[in-house]
Amino acid sequence: MTLPAHAEDRLARSVLGPSLGVQPNEVVTIESWSHALPWALALVREVRRRRAKPILVVEDEETFFESLRLVRPNSVPQVPLSLVEASDVYVYLPGPESFPRLFGLNDRELHRVVSRFDAQWWRAARQRRVRFARLAIASATSTAADHFGIDVEGWSREVWRASLFPPGQLRRKGRHLLRRLARARRVRVRHPNGTDWAVELRKGRGFVEDGRVDTEDHRSGHLATQVPSGLVAVSLRSGTAEGVWESNRQTYHRFQDPPTAVGARFVFRDGRLKEYSFDRGGEAFAATYARGGRGRDRVTRLTFGLNPAIVRAPEFEEIADGMVTLWLGSDRPPPERGPVPFSFLSPLAGADVEVDGEQWWVGGRPVRVARRGGPS
């Protein structure tokens, strides 16, 4: 099933309207790899329709790889800071499309190429209060689909539909969930597959990722979003995770071989990961875990998916409606020196969730509660 006519224009209207709220005379920088140029040109048209000022930056893929042969990967020039310092809005369409050509780089070199923006860039963006969006539709390519062994048309259509889901609806739904979690102390997750896992929450340390960046987001320290989006994230008290967590969804990692991990099973005791096993893909996990460094054995975050348009799209399991995802390892950017922090997402669909001993989700769906406290 191919994308509908004018798919690029519809996405551009959604991103520059509900997501980023572009106003007349604002400067909008659109940075794109060459394979995603049709999406970028639609953004340029929409910027002009909104009477704003577009800047288009294109990273030509062949020129980029030629640069890698000429200089070390950690010396590849980044986009000049002057661009972000002059921008009100920044949209990034990621690449490269031929990402297998990056295989063989070490962790730090790979992180620099893929993350694209360093700490200095983000400091400048924060000072300027830039509204930033990363459009994942550029990652749904034939190369990636072949790597994952899936159908590219179905994948790209699912990502596109999820990208159009209204941010306002995601925000309302997410705030409703976050209000309950903000008052909670302990969460327990169970599933018939053998999952029985509990953890304590850090009070007041949660947020809703709804695909929008506005004044409220800036006040809370969030200047960036990914499209598509849709989740509630809560931070966890270190050293409190206990029990067994078993994933029933694949985890995708395009820079590992094999690129999928299936049947992840983690056993936590005294707040740390003590045992792990996989039905498939465990070798790649073990290799990255072995060099992961401090904090690799702790759970940093728990997320609850909100976006009903995501069903099985690779790399977006976390935002699927009703998905509970455990984030193992670090959720922080790597330091200037030292190893790149280890992280691994383990999604679980159809789980039962208890909050402070009360049933909150059943089979991945919220339990409706009457105003006076009983189930409705």
Segment 45-68 shows an average pLDDT of 95
* Burial readout 366-375 (b: 16 or more C-beta within 10 A, e: otherwise): beeeeeeeee
Residue 58 identity: V
Determine how many CB atoms are found less than 10 A away from the CB of residue 318. 24
| pLDDT value at residue 93 | 98
Q: Are 90 and 59 in contact (CB under 8 A)?
A: no
* Burial readout 14-49 (b: 16 or more C-beta within 10 A, e: otherwise): bbbebbbbbeeebbbbbbbbbbbeebbbbbbebbee
Segment 6-28 shows an average pLDDT of 97
In the chain, where the domains are located = 7-164, 168-366
Task: Indicate the burial class of 333 (C-beta count within 10 angstroms; 0-12, 13-18, 19 or more).
Answer: middle
Q: Does domain 7-164 have CATH number 3.40.1830.10?
A: yes
Tokens 């402070």, residue?
A: 356
Joined tokens for residue 366 = 């919220």
Joined tokens for residue 356 = 């402070």
| Percentage of residues of the chain with pLDDT beyond 70 | 94
CA–CA separation, 210 and 247 (whole Å): 24
| Element holding 202 (H helix, E strand) | strand 196-209
Q: pLDDT tens-digit profile of 167-180?
A: 999 999 999 999 99
- Among 4-8, 253-257, 259-263, the minimum mean pLDDT is found in 253-257
Mean predicted lDDT score pLDDT of the chain: 91
| pLDDT value at residue 369 | 62
Q: According to DSSP H, which parts of the chain are helical?
A: 7-14, 37-49, 61-70, 81-85, 107-115, 119-128, 142-148, 152-163, 167-182, 215-219, 282-290
Joined tokens for residue 360 = 């909150």
The model's confidence at residue 348, banded by pLDDT at 50, 70 and 90, is: very high
| pLDDT value at residue 252 | 92
Segment 329-353 shows an average pLDDT of 81
The model's confidence at residue 333, banded by pLDDT at 50, 70 and 90, is: low
CA–CA separation, 364 and 281 (whole Å): 26
Segment 200-216 shows an average pLDDT of 89
Q: pLDDT tens-digit profile of 68-89?
A: 888 776 666 677 899 999 999 9
CA–CA separation, 79 and 52 (whole Å): 21
Tokens 């067994």, residue?
A: 244
Read off φ and ψ for residue 255, nearest 5 degrees: -105, 20
Q: Are strands 131-135 and 89-93 parallel, antiparallel or unpaired?
A: parallel
Is a pLDDT exceeding 70 seen at residue 1? no
Give the full edge-to-edge strand order of the sheet including 89-93: 53-59, 27-33, 89-93, 131-135, 224-227
Is a pLDDT exceeding 60 seen at residue 190? yes
Is a pLDDT exceeding 70 seen at residue 312? yes
| Element holding 321 (H helix, E strand) | none
